[in-house]
Amino acid sequence: MKRDIYKDLMNWKNSKRRKPLILKGARQIGKTYILKVFGENEYSNTAYINFEEDPEAKILFEGKLNPQKIIEKLSLYLNIKIEPKKSLIIFDEIQECPAALTSLKYFNEEANEYHLVTAGSLLGIKMKGITSFPVGKVNFFNLFPFSYEEYLDGIGKSNLRTVLNNVNKMEPIDIIFHNELTENLKMYFFVGGMPEAILQYKKDKDFGVIREIQNEILTAYSMDFSKHPTKSEAINIMNVWNSIPTQLAKENKKFQYNNISKHAKAIKYRNSIDWLVNAGLVYRSFNVKTPKLPISAYRESNNFKLFLLDVGLLGAMLNLTTKTIVERNKLFLEYNGAFTENYVAQELIANKCKELYYWRSGNSAEVDFILSDGNNIIPLEVKSGLSKKKKSLIVYKNKYNPSKIIRTTLMNFKKDGKMYNYPLYAVSKIQE
């Protein structure tokens, strides 16, 4: 299955500042698959080690971390010839072998002619405990669940992606394509962006099996929680995780600790939230009290929302029924628009938005996302249906007079003065 990150991998291969690469991302989003496909297509052979499946391979990194010695031992261990520039070396689940992670420093300094990529599912967690991390000696990429455009490729609808990519300025798309893109988006809300679920949908559209796949992924994530050093912290992580769908289903989606338990306090769950963020399982959006540049300087660290990494998994956790798919536009409105706002969050992240922010003015107005083009602050409001109401944007406009205002709705592309309307299926185009 095609992934947009393949272009980044090609750029990495040909880059003059190429270093050993670390590919980060949650479990079961396709890291191993895309690296193996990259190796098969672009190199003579691939030397692959998975430290979780093959813990004995750690012996290759005992003693002095000399890259040439490691290559010799790796060649013998895998019974293949590893050549500079011609072979791709893959260290998978590298967080399970700290010495392999440390060795990346020496590969960069002493043997950068070898093309080395690594992947890790809980790397953001494990790196915190590694004192000899190769700072400045590696390149980083992040992989996320399939974006909506990648999903179109994955289900054989690349023609629709082409239509979307050919949008000229803010001209409306032909209604036939607009409707088809909207209907496929509705399906994406149920299927989500996990590769196995997409493959199943393409195969036979068996929604019962798709839901089984999603529940299996959720179970696998729960098992990762149990790997935390202390039982109490593992329970706290699980409690935060299980509360997120309920938090998002509220009209005010701000994360509230008392939705976990009646007397829950931030100090008890702060580390649990950090764990989920670092594992790539949730995205955190901070409230910005005053929308100024740089946005990060004005965020309120204790005032935030949490979104799941995948809208399909959110549906599984909320037990969304298949009936909702066929009911016209109801899915976009379900649970106070929880799916729609979660979808927009993951689309922004997948399209290289590094941090998420929103703005709230007491109980009178809220703008769902605050973006920046480097020079300007741009408000983005999410509407789950065809509503033209824009009370919050008007409050924001009167207060801050932004150069541009963006809404994303089920309506077609439209520009009206400072107001830009993007269809929900075109959130990826906002950052372009």
pLDDT tens column, 109-123: 999 999 999 998 877
Mean pLDDT score of the chain: 92
The pLDDT value given to residue 432? 75
Contact (Cβ atoms closer than 8 angstroms) between residue 332 and residue 384:
yes
125 and 161 fall within a common domain: no
Q: Which residue has the higher pLDDT, 124 or 185?
A: 185
Mean pLDDT check: name the lowest of 79-83, 98-102, 307-311.
Answer: 98-102
* Residue 385 pLDDT greater than 60, yes or no: yes
* Residue 125 pLDDT greater than 80, yes or no: no
253 and 203 fall within a common domain: yes
330 and 403 fall within a common domain: yes
CATH classification of the domain holding 70: 3.40.50.300
Q: What is the mean pLDDT of residues 283-298?
A: 94
Q: What is the mean pLDDT of residues 310-338?
A: 84
Q: Which domain holds residue 266?
A: 148-430
Instruction: Provide the 10 A C-beta neighbour count for residue 399.
Output: 13
Contact (Cβ atoms closer than 8 angstroms) between residue 368 and residue 356:
no
The pLDDT value given to residue 126? 58
- Domain boundary, last residue among 95, 116, 142: 142
**How far is 113 from 42, CA to CA, in rounded Å?**
16
* Residue 124 pLDDT greater than 90, yes or no: no
pLDDT tens column, 69-86: 999 999 999 999 999 999
The pLDDT value given to residue 127? 57
The SS3 of residue 366 is strand
The pLDDT value given to residue 229? 67
Give the H/E segment covering residue 49: strand 45-50
* Residue 263 pLDDT greater than 60, yes or no: yes
**E-only strand ranges, 112-160:** 115-120, 139-142
Q: How confident is the model at residue 334 (pLDDT cuts 50, 70, 90)?
A: confident
Burial of 301 (0-12, 13-18, 19+ CB in 10 A): exposed
Q: What is the mean pLDDT of residues 422-428?
A: 96
The pLDDT value given to residue 335? 80
271 and 180 fall within a common domain: yes
174 and 232 fall within a common domain: yes
137 and 246 fall within a common domain: no
* Residue 304 pLDDT greater than 90, yes or no: yes
**How far is 60 from 386, CA to CA, in rounded Å?**
59
The pLDDT value given to residue 374? 82
286 and 404 fall within a common domain: yes
pLDDT tens column, 335-349: 878 999 999 999 999
Our count of domains for the chain comes to: 2
Q: 136: which DSSP letter?
A: T
- Domain boundary, last residue among 142, 161, 176: 142
Write the CB contacts of 373 (distance below 8 Å, at least 6 apart in sequence): none
* Residue 256 pLDDT greater than 60, yes or no: yes
